[in-house]
């Protein structure tokens, strides 16, 4: 069993069906059973939680993680768990009736800390890779959305963390990923890759797993 975990780029947002999302296409190419655990609007901490649940409780043969933009941060209150995407959520302010959430979004939008979020994301990569090794779970990673630009800006200042990442199992690290692979292909109104982009992504991931001898 392979668990594919990520945000809307993994879920298949704006596709006519999840049958066209890269996890489904990967399943067709590999002949392996695949569970798509992508979720629109999710942040990397939720991706970490879903990865840990799969690794610790589902006994997968492999997980494939499509990391999202590191600025998305998860919070929780009495209403529930939600993500704030700093600098991107101004339109949502009018749709949330809870005043404390409105204040939080305004604060995050004005005073986000991108380099801190970036270092936090690198640690998340290292921790999930280490957990997979201890549990003997194959772990493939790639940048789905927004990560490439962060690497270009901040990687040079976090070489100590960079050295701990197993880049041999990270497709396109550090400067390419799904957004770049799909750049010249059709996208939906919300800028999500459509069928061609998902097919390209699935083929890249499949070829990489083949090169590692995992399939």
Phi, psi of 108 (to 5 degrees): -65, -35
Residue ranges of the domains in the chain? 2-71+117-212, 74-111
Cβ atoms of residues 181 and 148 within 8 Å: no
Domain topology for 2-71+117-212: Rossmann fold (3.40.50)
Asked if 38 and 4 count as a contact pair (C-beta separation under 8 A), the reply is yes
Query: Given pLDDT bands bounded at 50, 70 and 90, which one contains residue 51?
Result: very high
Q: Can you list the pairs that 150-154 forms with residues at least 24 positions away whose Cβ atoms lie under 8 Å?
A: 150/69, 150/70, 150/114, 150/118, 150/121, 151/175, 153/114, 153/118, 154/114, 154/115, 154/118, 154/119
Please state, rounded to an integer, the average pLDDT across all residues of the chain. Answer: 90
> Beta partners for 80?
none
17-21, 115-119, 166-170: least confidently modelled range = 115-119
**Average pLDDT of 30-47?**
95
Average pLDDT over residues 52-78: 91
Please state, in angstroms and rounded to a whole number, the distance separating the CA atoms of residues 146 and 114: 12
Flag whether pLDDT at 63 surpasses 90: yes
**Confidence (pLDDT) at 162:** 93
Angle between helices 195-212 and 22-30 (to 10 degrees): 40
Q: What is the spatial distance between Cα 61 and Cα 63, in angstroms, rounded to a whole number?
A: 7
What's the confidence (pLDDT) of residue 64?
Answer: 98
Give the length of the chain: 215
CB 63 within 8 A of CB 2: yes
The tens digit of pLDDT for each residue in 87-146 reads 554 444 445 556 666 676 666 666 568 898 899 999 999 999 999 999 999 999 999 998
Say what the pLDDT of residue 160 is. 96
Q: What percent of the chain has pLDDT over 90?
A: 74
- At 109 the pLDDT is 62
Q: Are 32 and 4 in contact (CB under 8 A)?
A: no
| Vertex 134: Cα angle to 128 and 136 (nearest 5) | 95
Cα–Cα distances (Å) from 25 to 15, 31, 118, 156, 201, in that order, read 13, 10, 30, 35, 9
| pLDDT greater than 60 at residue 210 | yes
What is the rounded CA–CA span in Å between residue 92 and residue 39? 18
Looking at residue 74, what is its pLDDT? 82
């Amino acid at each position: 069993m392979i668990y594919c975990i990520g945000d809307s780029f993994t879920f298949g947002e704006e596709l006519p069906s999840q049958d066209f999302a890269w996890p489904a296409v990967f399943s067709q190419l590999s002949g392996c059973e695949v569970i798509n655990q992508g979720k629109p609007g999710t942040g990397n901490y939720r991706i970490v939680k879903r990865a840990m649940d799969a690794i610790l409780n589902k006994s997968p043969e492999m997980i494939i993680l499509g990391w999202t933009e590191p600025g998305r941060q998860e919070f929780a209150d009495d209403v529930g768990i939600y993500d704030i995407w700093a600098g991107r959520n101004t339109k949502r302010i009018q749709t949330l009736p809870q005043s404390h959430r409105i204040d939080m979004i305004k604060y995050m939008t004005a005073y986000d800390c991108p380099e801190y979020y970036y270092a936090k994301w690198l640690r998340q990569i290292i921790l999930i890779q280490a957990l997979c090794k201890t549990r003997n779970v194959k772990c493939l990673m790639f940048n789905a959305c927004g990560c490439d630009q962060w690497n270009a800006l901040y990687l040079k200042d976090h070489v100590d963390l960079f050295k701990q990442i197993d880049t041999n199992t990270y497709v396109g690290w550090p400067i390419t990923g799904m957004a770049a692979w799909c750049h010249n292909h059709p996208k939906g109104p919300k800028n999500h890759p459509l069928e061609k982009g998902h097919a390209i992504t699935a083929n890249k991931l499949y070829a990489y797993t083949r090169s590692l001898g995992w399939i």
